Amino acid sequence: MAVRAIRGATQLEEDVRDHMLERVAEMVTDVMEANDLEVDDFISVIFTATSDLVSEFPAYAARRLGFGEIPLLCARELEIDGSMPRCVRMMAHVETDLPRADITHVYLHGAAALRSDLTRVRSVPDGDE
């Protein structure tokens, strides 16, 4: 069993608590489904949020999915001119038998434009839900 890092990102339409919880839960669930993972496969998860998102901690959405025993951390995304607004990103460290090349990273809604360079990405642009 190897330790792998899996990335994900999503963009919110507005900074509303329920919307934050919904979008982050969707991202975490999609990462799990795309990589055949259970909660117990997770070692830790780091979430970042842009400074325009203040309605809720992204990690709370994961806690509601059963991540109560998994170390979770929230941090502020760097404020770079022209960067995507209302964006939550995650980097999960997991135990898996998947080779690194078979890991699927998940970019949802507006965040689908962030990593078009990756070869294994499940992306869902807005309007394609």
Residues forming the active site: 7, 63, 74, 77, 89, 107, 115
Q: How many CB atoms lie within 10 A of CB 17?
A: 11
53 neighbors 83 (Cβ within 8 angstroms):
no
**Cα distance between the two ends of the chain:** 33
d(CA 128, CA 90): 21
Is 89 part of any known ligand binding site? Answer: yes
Is 120 part of any known ligand binding site? Answer: no
- Which tokens is 39 given? 């909660």
Is 7 part of any known ligand binding site? Answer: yes
- Which tokens is 121 given? 């990405």
Strands (E), 53-110: 72-76, 87-96, 105-108
